[in-house]
Amino acid sequence: MSPNTTGAFLMMGSMAAFTLNDACIKATGGVLPLFQLLTIRGLISSVLIYALARHLGALRFRLPRRDWMLIALRSLSEVGAAYFFLTALMNMPLANVTAVLQMLPLTVTMGAALFFGERVGWRRILAIAVGFCGMLLIVRPGADGFNIYALYTMVAVIFVTLRDLTTKRMSPAVPSMLVTLAAALAVLVFSALVSLRVEWAALDGRLTLLMLGSSLFIIGGYVLSVAVMRVGDVSFVAPFRYTGLLWALILGWLVFGDWPDAVTLVGATIVVMSGLFTLYRGRIGAGGRSGG
């Protein structure tokens, strides 16, 4: 397969893993304090990732200082994304939160143009603006049904955009498993420190299984999200994040009995169509045509 095709499949796998992780977290029903949840999941994930990395011989620490700085920045971005996203997830329907996240292909495309010099013509810039309007239909600021946690999701979008763009700037010599382990440890350390100030809740069998499932799915999401940003063109691969919305709609309906209202679905459709247009224009640009 071509690098772009490989990247597309990796992105779809990443979205499936992250959405299943989200479903496990939401299924806890808020019984566990957020930072207890993150600490437990982070501990399990970090141990499993370390074991896998050792088995694969992927822990190489002799890296240029620039790469270590990028790993640190990416890890901090992961911490911010985890906090803001999961806070929103515990207070909003799964599909609604995921619908806001569909802005990511557009923000990553714009970020790649601003910081990497990738070509993005006026048509894709217009598509990004239209997608932003679609996002406003989803969150509906000023409406009676506006949920302040929609803003948390928007902040999470900023952190994930920074995470993905930082990953793209790392040199090929940086092992993906090392990046994944660094992110997991960063979330673990931050959550463990904060959790010292909250009262922990007891775990029963159901919660334990949900935490184990979440940990396994988040590992898959971590590994694939690192790999995907290092394969193919950002503007080509990023729109395949939209498959996460399909998973969220299905799981939200089957597991939680939630289904977005008509306005939210219209907004999500506008965002998705805008992203697909950026994909189409990106492929034309890659073919050497004008317009962008």
pLDDT of residue 2: 81
- pLDDT tens for 79-96 read 999 999 999 999 989 998
- pLDDT tens for 245-272 read 889 999 999 999 988 889 889 998 998 8
User: What's the token pair of residue 27?
Assistant: 């299924």
Q: Is 231 left (phi over 0), alpha (psi -120 to 50) or beta?
A: beta
Among residues 85, 98, 25, 109, which one has the least CA distance to residue 249? 98
Residue 168: other Cβ atoms inside 10 A = 18
pLDDT of residue 106: 84
Q: Which residues contact 176 (CB under 8 A, 6 or more apart)?
A: 58, 223, 226, 227, 230
Per the CB < 8 A criterion, the answer to whether 234 and 112 are in contact is yes
Q: What are the start-end ranges of the E strands in 198-239?
A: none
Q: Look-up: residue for tokens 């900023």?
A: 158
Evaluate if pTM is beyond 0.75: yes
Extents of the domains making up the chain: 3-101+147-253
Report the alpha-carbon distance of residue 27 to residue 221 in Å, rounded. 18
- pLDDT tens for 37-51 read 999 999 998 998 899
Local confidence pLDDT in tens for the 292 residues of the chain: 788 888 888 989 998 998 999 999 999 988 999 999 999 999 998 998 899 888 878 788 889 999 999 999 999 999 999 999 999 999 989 998 988 888 877 888 888 888 877 777 778 888 888 988 988 888 776 655 567 888 899 999 999 999 989 988 898 888 888 898 999 999 999 999 999 998 999 999 999 999 999 988 988 887 787 788 677 776 677 678 788 888 999 999 999 998 888 988 999 899 888 877 876 776 666 555 444 5
Report the alpha-carbon distance of residue 187 to residue 36 in Å, rounded. 12
Report the alpha-carbon distance of residue 205 to residue 129 in Å, rounded. 47
